[in-house]
Amino acid sequence: MSIQSPAAGWFKAPSGSERVWIGIAMAWCIVMTIAMPYWLFFGKQNSTGEAYRVTPADFAARVGTFVESHKVGELQGVPIVEPAPGGDAYLLARMWQWFPVLKLRKGQTYRVHISSMDLQHGFSLQPLNMNFQVLPTYDHVLTLTPTSAGEFTIVCNEFCGIGHHLMTGRILVEE
Ligand SMILES: [Cu+2]
């Protein structure tokens, strides 16, 4: 509610280029509105929505077991872990780290369990720009099949405190 009412006759119908811009904006709204359900059914990068309840302590224990049994190296002090093709992989988010580094094989399918130890983080896989929310007490399982080899970066895209910009991780994909 405004403090004062506008003077009578304040409204002037849009005309000229203003009408064109309103038309362009309207058309784009319609395109984007159609894109959302289209992508839900035809997109190839959607989560299946598979998720389970888990306490941070239980999830950390699973990550620990996973790292112990599948560790193949280290990158800047973070273990590199290679899950069995077709198997489960675990990725833990916490202020301000993605743990561990995952090493995957191109064309193999993995079940990547992702959860947070503390607060909400955002899993953003670059340069593919695949984005998923990462929440504590919530084990989100991504069924993931790398289609190209290379080094991929995970950045946190949910502001999570003073070290947010340092929160990057790696997924290494081999042929
Ligand atoms: Cu974060």
Whether the pLDDT of residue 106 is over 90: the answer is yes
CA of 37 to the centre of ligand 1 (A): 28
CA distances from 159 to 97, 114, 162 (A): 13, 18, 9
CA of 118 to the centre of ligand 1 (A): 9
Give the span between the Cα atoms of 110 and 13, in whole angstroms: 57
The phi, psi pair for 166, rounded to 5°, reads -90, -5
CA of 168 to the centre of ligand 1 (A): 9
Residue 30 confidence (pLDDT): 98
Percent of the chain with pLDDT over 70: 99
Whether the pLDDT of residue 1 is over 80: the answer is no
CA of 66 to the centre of ligand 1 (A): 22
Mean pLDDT on 37-50: 87
Average pLDDT, the chain: 94
Mean pLDDT on 67-92: 94
Residue 46 confidence (pLDDT): 85
CA of 91 to the centre of ligand 1 (A): 13
